[in-house]
Chains A and B, each alone.
Chain A
Amino acid sequence: MDSRDIVLNILMDIETKKTFSNIAISKALSKNQFEDKRERAFITRLSEGVMEHLITLDYVINQFSKTKINKCKPLIRCLLRMGTYQIMYMDGVPDSAACNEAVKLAKKHGFSSLAGFVNGVLRNISRNKDNIEEPSKDKNSLEYLSVKYSMPIWLCKKLKNDYPETYVSILDGCFADRDTSIRVNTTKISRDELKKMINEAGIAVEYGYYDEKALLISDYDFIKKVPGYKKGYFTVQDESSMCAVRAAGIKQDDTIIDVCAAPGGKTTAAAEYLNGTGKIYSMDISEDKLELIEENVDRLGFDNVIISSHDATKKLSDMEADVVIADLPCSGLGIIGRKNDIKYRLEEEQLAELVKLQREILKVVCDYVKPKGTLLYSTCTINPDENQENVKWFLNKYPEFTLKEERLFVQGVDNCDGFYFAVLVKG
């Protein structure tokens, strides 16, 4: 199957079935095994690129198409977006190829009557790509930011309100290419040894910025092929999460409960600090995701982790722990650059719902904390209501807890994902 046809399938899957883009892409790639690595790379780049720049692409298309993009048939809509992305962002693809291939696909999928339309719009964009009218003269206006960063207006407004000094860096940060952060499993290998091993395989590797277990790697094909992966020498985790688990102050022999554990990053980080002692109860509501935790725990080689299915909003009887890890469902505004679906799917009204859910879970799980024990609350969002405001509410409601440490990482400002954690100690 032709690469562009595969991308069209992926985009249609996302557009019409609301499939998450990472799932749609990996499904398509595994269905079509390629010998040629470049084909894979092309498919990934084009489908991710379209999703990353969706609002921008639609804005450009609407300038040159008589039929507005949301009035087009879904297949034509996807074709125009793909074509426009290649013209605007892929220097290696001649504009003529982008147009011709789109026309071919329109015909192939039974839209011969619209092939001329597709051709016209794309050629028009190709001719005029260097003088596209900007959405507003004011470069700080919400309309301008929304188109430039392909971010819904409400979200631009929120970021500008919450971060009046740094919102531009944050938006830039969403598009910045960052190295992959990995956490060295120091129960099996030292950081320097692993660094040397990865380096010898010709993969670029540096020390992390914040955590002494972190390495940053780049220029590798598949994470599973990086030396040491199968042996459980490392796991992929953002440095912000590593800092959070470190701050929880886990000691040998501690009992730990991780209430929303999938895919198991914090569970395994905690297991490394326990180093074979103590016990971790690692739970998640989603049965499918439990397999991810199992995979990670088994690969890293820990046998003191008990994985089970549980809805964190429900109270478990007779459970207590020295450290409770509550990395809760959140709006994900700290990782909008890495997961394109978030920014398009999240609606402003959902934010209040999430705060409610987080508080509901905190009420339940704080009960598991032993006296002198620790509750680690964290999110991968930079929305203050879900972070600092929640912690204020919590301390007010549960005066037996004190705030030992809190930390906010902001993407584009710090060298990691946007992330928040608070270490709450029970008196």
Chain B
Amino acid sequence: MAIRNIRLDGDDVLRKECKPIEKMTGRLQMLIDDMYETMYEANGVGLAAPQVGILKRLVVIDIGEGDPLTLINPVIVQADGEQEGEEGCLSLPGLQGTVVRPNHVICKALDENMEEITVEGEGLLARAICHELDHLDGILYKDKTLDGLYSVEQPKDN
């Protein structure tokens, strides 16, 4: 287990499209473990593989309630409702912005055993899923803010 280096805004790796994962390997399992460790250490609630320099479709999410979620090759199959709220990101430390997201999403993905799972999220979880999945397509929340970014003393990560 190791803390990985979190890539910051400006790093090209955050702007690339990630590739689907075909099979589980020892190396991938190690990456997942490291991503959890890195996310918890940075007080984040989600982390996508490109944020540690790996262009693969993989995110981990833990919003503090329910089980931590490992999502491999995730896709949002249904989104409805609307919520407006603050977002932050470990790749843009000390910043926040207001983003409109769906209030409810259904996401299909593979878990660590490469078995298909369906995750349903509302509120914060829906926001986290949307935010992390955007990373896999090279999209950052700052592309979507209503009125840009502003500094915060205690960055609240999403």
Contact = CB atoms under 8 A, between A and B. Distances in A.
Contact of B5 (A303, A307, A314, A318): A318
Interface string A199-237: 000000000000000000000000000000000000000
A307 B31 CA distance: 10
B53 A287 contact: no
A316 B2 contact: no
A309 interface: yes
Interface string A287-330: 10000001000100001001111110010111100000000000
Contacts of A310: 7, 11, 13, 53
Q: How large is the interface on B (under 10, 10 to 19, 20 to 34, 35 or more residues)?
A: 20 to 34
B20 to A, nearest CB: 13
A160 B116 CA distance: 64
A219 to B, nearest CB: 35
A307 B10 CA distance: 20
A287 B18 CA distance: 10
A279 B5 CA distance: 13
A303 B30 contact: yes
B10 A306 contact: no
A281 interface: yes
A193 B53 CA distance: 39
A283 interface: yes
A314 B10 CA distance: 9
A394 B16 CA distance: 33
Given A283-B53, A294-B27, A298-B27, A316 B5 contact: yes
A316 B53 CA distance: 11
B55 interface: yes
B139 interface: no
Given A310-B13, A311-B12, A314-B10, A279 B53 contact: no
Given A303-B30, A314-B11, A281 B54 contact: no
Contacts of B13: 308-311
A317 B8 contact: yes
Residue of A311, A314, A319 with most partner-chain B CB within 10 A: A314
Contacts of A279: 2
Nearest to A318: B5
A287 B13 CA distance: 10
B157 to A, nearest CB: 16
Contacts of A308: 4-5, 13, 52-54
Interface string B54-85: 11000000000000000000000000000000
Contacts of B11: 310-311, 314, 316
Given A279-B2, A281-B5, A314 B12 contact: yes
A318 B10 CA distance: 15
A171 B13 CA distance: 41
Q: How large is the interface on A (under 10, 10 to 19, 20 to 34, 35 or more residues)?
A: 10 to 19
Nearest to B10: A314
A308 B4 CA distance: 10
Nearest to B49: A308
Contacts of B54: 307-309
Given A279-B2, A306-B2, A317-B5, A287 B55 contact: yes
Interface in B1-52: 2, 4-8, 10-13, 16, 19, 25-27, 30, 34, 52
Nearest to A310: B53
Residue of A279, A287, A303, A306 with most partner-chain B CB within 10 A: A306
A44 B34 CA distance: 44
A318 B42 CA distance: 13
Nearest to B93: A317
Contacts of A287: 16, 19, 55
A309 B55 contact: yes
A298 B6 CA distance: 24
A418 B12 CA distance: 33
Nearest to A283: B53
Contacts of A281: 5
Contacts of B7: 310, 316
A303 B28 CA distance: 11
Contacts of B2: 279, 306
Given A294-B27, A306-B2, 20 more contacts: A281-B5, A283-B53, A287-B16, A303-B30, A307-B27, A307-B54, A308-B4, A308-B13, A308-B53, A308-B54, A309-B13, A310-B7, A310-B11, A310-B53, A314-B10, A316-B5, A316-B7, A317-B5, A317-B8, A318-B5
Interface of A: 279, 281, 283, 287, 294, 298, 303, 306-311, 314, 316-319
25 contacts: A279-B2, A283-B53, A294-B27, A298-B25, A298-B26, A298-B27, A303-B30, A306-B2, A306-B4, A307-B27, A307-B54, A308-B5, A308-B52, A309-B16, A309-B54, A309-B55, A310-B11, A310-B53, A311-B11, A311-B12, A311-B13, A316-B5, A316-B11, A317-B8, A318-B5
Nearest 8 interchain pairs by C-beta: A308-B53, A309-B53, A309-B13, A287-B55, A311-B12, A310-B53, A309-B55, A308-B54
